[in-house]
Amino acid sequence: MNVWGIADLHLSGARPDRRERHAARWKDHTERIAGEWRTVVGPDDVVLIPGDISMARNHRELQPDLEWLERLPGLKVLSAGNHDVWWNGVERIRPMLRKSLRAVGGGAISVGDVIVCGTRGTPVLNDEAPAAAVAEEKREIERLDRALKGALALRTANLPVFVLWHYPPFDAHRRPGPCVALLERAGVTACVYGHAHAEGQWGGLVQGAVNGVCYHGVAADAVGFRPYRLANLTHGPVFSGTTS
C-alpha cells in the first residue's frame, strides 16, 4: 500500500476552464494527471488531495469531477481549498461521494493503515493582516485542533497520521504559521499541502522533516502533474520523497 499526494487538480468538467491562460504547463492538465495517476497509483493505494479539487460553483456542477475521480485507481481523501466554493461542510459533501472517495473537514477518518485528518487552513498571516483574515485563521486553527484530537482518538499501534492543510504551513521566509505548533504537539507523521503555483515559490517551500513532522508541498504543477509518493506501507511505514 502506497500513500500519494496531489493537490490543486482544478477540475472543470461542467465549466471548462483553459488553465493554460495561467501558465503553458497547465495545457491539457486533466488528461496529464489521469495518465500519470494510472501509471503509478494502484487499486489498494490511498491518494490525499488537499484542496482546490474543482472549479464547480455548486454541487450540480461538481458531479462530472467526482465521476472523473471515481474512475481513477485508489481510495481518494479530499479536503477543501480556497477555490472549492461548492464545499459547504463535510457533512453535506459526504452523501455525494462515490465509492472510492472520502472527505475530511475538521475531523479525522481511518483509511486502511493510515489516519487522515485536516481542514482547509489559511495562509500564514503577517502583522498587517486584516481583522477578517485573523478571525478566519482562528476558526481554521480551531478546526485543525478538533481534527487532530479526532485523529489521536483513532490512532492505534502508532498508525501514521497525515494532515491535509491546503496552504503552505510556513511563510516565504520559512517562518512557521500557528498550525505548525499543533502538528508538532500532536506528533503527526506528515502535513500535505498545495496552493503554491509560482515557480519561484517552489524552491522556498518547506519540504521534508522539521521537528519530527514531514511536510510535502504537492500542488499538481509543482509535482509535474503526477501523484507524489508520501509513504510505502507494504512492509511497514517506510516514508520516502520519491515520485514512483
pTM for the model stands at: 0.93
Q: What is the pLDDT along the chain (244 residues), one digit of tens a residue?
A: 899 999 999 999 888 777 766 777 778 899 999 999 999 999 999 999 999 999 999 999 999 999 999 999 999 999 999 999 999 999 999 999 999 999 999 999 999 899 999 999 999 999 899 999 999 999 999 999 999 999 999 998 889 999 999 999 999 999 999 999 999 999 999 999 999 887 878 888 999 999 999 999 999 999 999 999 999 887 544 444 433 2
* Main-chain phi, psi angles of 181, to 5 degrees: -60, -40
- Residue 123 contacts residue 167 (beta carbons within 8 Å): yes
Is 114:160 a contact under the CB 8 Å cutoff? yes
* Residues 21, 36: Cα–Cα separation, whole Å: 22
For 158, residues 6+ apart whose C-beta sits below 8 A from its C-beta are none
Please identify which residue in the block is written with the cell numbers 499538481. 220
- All three cell numbers of 28: 491539457
156 burial class (0-12, 13-18, 19+ CB within 10 angstroms)? exposed
190-193 and 2-5 strand pairing: unpaired
Tell me the residue type at 68.
W
How many other β-carbons are positioned within 10 Å of the β-carbon of residue 196?
A: 21
Compute φ and ψ for 225, nearest 5 degrees: 60, 25
What are the chain's domains? Answer: 2-239 (3.60.21.10)
Beta strands in the chain (DSSP E): 2-5, 46-50, 75-79, 101-103, 107-111, 114-119, 161-165, 190-193, 208-210, 213-217, 228-232, 238-239
